[in-house]
Amino acid sequence: MMTTASPRAQLQEWIGLAVLTLPTALLGLDVTLLYLVLPALAADLQPTNTQALWIMDAYGFLIAGCLITMGTLGDRIGRRRLLMIGATAFGIVSVLAAYATSPGILIAARALLGIAGATLMPSTLALITNMFVDAHQRALAIGVWATAFSLGMVAGPLVGGALLAQFWWGAAFLVALPVVGILLLAAPFCLPEFKAPHSGRFDLGSVALSLAAILQTIYALKHLVDKGVTFSGIATLLAGVAFGLWFVRRQHRLATPLLDMRLFHSPAFNAALGILLIGLMSVGGIMLLVTQYLQLVADLTPMVAGMWMAPPALAMFIAALTAPLMVRRFPASLVVAGTLTVSTLGYLLLASVDGPTEVMTVVVGFSLVYLGLGAIAALGTDLVVGSAPPEMAGAASAMSETVQELGVALGVAILGSLTTLVYRLQLTPHRPNDLPPDLALKLEDGLWGASSIVQRLSPELLIQAKQAFIAGMNLSAMVAGAGILTLALLSALWLRSPRPQQC
């Protein structure tokens, strides 16, 4: 069977990629920006603890829940059109969030931002597959795309700190406006439109089932981290799984499904999803622990902690850009497995930390961890979208993003619970018997709880709490490192076969 060379992208496509990195970086920025803004926001709006949690979580919940729906919707109505509609909505709701006068309004705005954000990620990634048909160029473009999101996350605390120094907390949400403005002006000239032919009707029943499955699963995982193993948490998780199975069964019966199950007939597609899921589980959980170490153990301000996260971001940037170039000379299995093996050294460094003064060790270790993340984010995502037909690229992109969201949630649930368990076991022998019940509950919640009552704890007990957290982080890093080393071996097997050539 003859193969033909794919057309190579020209200057317009690369300019279009630059435009697509703007909303991608904005979404990454929005993930971490609120961490720094929350204290000022809480002082103004006075939310309850439950409301504060929903202000933080509503955005991520709705993004994860709506990705599959929006990815398929973009294939149906046009990817550029959905991107522009979503960006417009994101800008409008950002103004609503900036000028929110109550916690309820802000929670609603954050939820709407999540829905709008869910239109942006799969649309940008699917458009890249339209613009970069050449496999080598597409891999490099996806590396740039993945890096833009990471850089946005790292920039969040820095941007938030700079804005709070000059303006009120709502200014953090208004950062979206210039990005949206540039996107809306440039998109019609720089980005192509693509709409899947013969896409059929849009099944609202499948939309409802996908939302029920994903939202309940992620909510249950977060609940299990915060509250431990409870009946309600397990019941919610089982309900999410049940709705997921119902969703899959419905897709098999529909002539035009929301998510075409034929995507999963590709071994490359399944292998890439598996790599992304396991890889993000390890990285997601460790990322939470590293940020806690920098702020709660090393006592760094959010802005300084954000600056220390720059080297890991640089490592991911290098890996995301060089990994696609390396697969031109070496098999993808060797590149992924080799990078993940090097990444294992980072987990070992994190497992060796034994005090609050080892910031450099933590940063170097996490930089090596992010080196592996950069490789799997670029190559894994490329394998997912590259193995799907062009008319399914939006759905494939959404599936990639959904798996990564689930991976992070699972990682936080598993490693967060493990760290909390070790923390409590280590701290119990040092807890005074006469400690008031309210302080005891805060102390057992974890290092976040202990830090919130630092004025009411003895210096010795706070030191013990920090050491207990470090012990939990050490064990979690060892478990995550073992998972990544196993993933390196599996990658060498799963990715052995060369990618089939397009006819």
Report the alpha-carbon distance of residue 386 to residue 396 in Å, rounded: 9
What pLDDT does 225 receive? Answer: 64
What pLDDT does 421 receive? Answer: 83
Signed CA dihedral, 355, 285, 495, 153: sign only: negative
What pLDDT does 499 receive? Answer: 44
What pLDDT does 90 receive? Answer: 92
Mean pLDDT over 415-433 rounds to 80
Instruction: Label residue 50 by pLDDT band (50, 70, 90).
Output: low
Report the alpha-carbon distance of residue 7 to residue 131 in Å, rounded: 10
**What percent of the chain is predicted at pLDDT more than 70?**
84
> In CATH, which of 3.30.460.10, 1.20.1250.20, 3.40.50.880, 3.40.50.300 is domain 8-202?
1.20.1250.20
CA nearest neighbour of 19 among 177, 148, 122: 148
**What's the chain's length in residues?**
503
What pLDDT does 294 receive? Answer: 85
Instruction: Label residue 498 by pLDDT band (50, 70, 90).
Output: very low
Mean pLDDT over 309-338 rounds to 81
What pLDDT does 89 receive? Answer: 92
Buried b / exposed e over 388-404, threshold 16 CB at 10 Å, is beebbbbbbbbbbbbbb
- Give the global pTM: 0.76
**What percent of the chain is predicted at pLDDT more than 90?**
10
**Sequence-distant (≥ 6) Cβ neighbours of residue 438 within 8 angstroms:** none
What pLDDT does 312 receive? Answer: 84
Mean pLDDT over 473-495 rounds to 87
Angle CA 384–341–337, to nearest 5: 35
Question: Two tokens at 362?
Answer: 């933590």
pLDDT at 381 over 80: no
Report the alpha-carbon distance of residue 449 to residue 439 in Å, rounded: 9
Instruction: Label residue 100 by pLDDT band (50, 70, 90).
Output: confident
Instruction: Label residue 457 by pLDDT band (50, 70, 90).
Output: low
State pLDDT tens for residues 245-297.
888 888 778 777 777 777 777 777 777 788 888 888 888 778 878 888 887 88
pLDDT at 48 over 80: no
State pLDDT tens for residues 344-365.
999 999 999 998 889 999 999 9
3-state secondary structure 21-73: HHHHHHHHHHHHHHHHHHHHHHHHHCCCHHHHHHHHHHHHHHHHHHHHHHHHH
- The conformation of residue 297, written as its DSSP 8-state character, comes to I
What pLDDT does 390 receive? Answer: 66
Give the fold, CATH level 3, of 265-498. Growth Hormone; Chain: A; (1.20.1250)
What pLDDT does 2 receive? Answer: 42
What pLDDT does 334 receive? Answer: 84
Burial of 419 per CB tally in 10 Å (0-12, 13-18, 19+): buried
What pLDDT does 53 receive? Answer: 65
Report the alpha-carbon distance of residue 110 to residue 100 in Å, rounded: 10
CB 340, CB 487: distance < 8 Å:
yes
Tell me the pLDDT of the chain averaged across its residues: 79
Give the three-state DSSP class for 133: coil
Lowest pLDDT segment from 220-229, 234-243, 424-433: 220-229
Decide if 8-202 and 265-498 have a common fold. Answer: yes
Residue 164 region by backbone torsions, left for phi larger than 0, else alpha for psi between -120 and 50, else beta: alpha
What pLDDT does 500 receive? Answer: 38
**Sequence-distant (≥ 6) Cβ neighbours of residue 444 within 8 angstroms:** 424, 427
Q: Which is more confidently placed, 403 or 31?
A: 403
Residue ranges per structural domain of the chain: 8-202, 205-257, 265-498
What pLDDT does 37 receive? Answer: 72
State pLDDT tens for residues 103-127.
888 889 988 988 898 888 888 888 8
CA nearest neighbour of 220 among 414, 398, 50, 448: 414
What pLDDT does 501 receive? Answer: 38
Q: CA of 462: how far to CAs of 289, 297, 442, 450, in Å?
A: 17, 10, 12, 7
Instruction: Label residue 3 by pLDDT band (50, 70, 90).
Output: very low
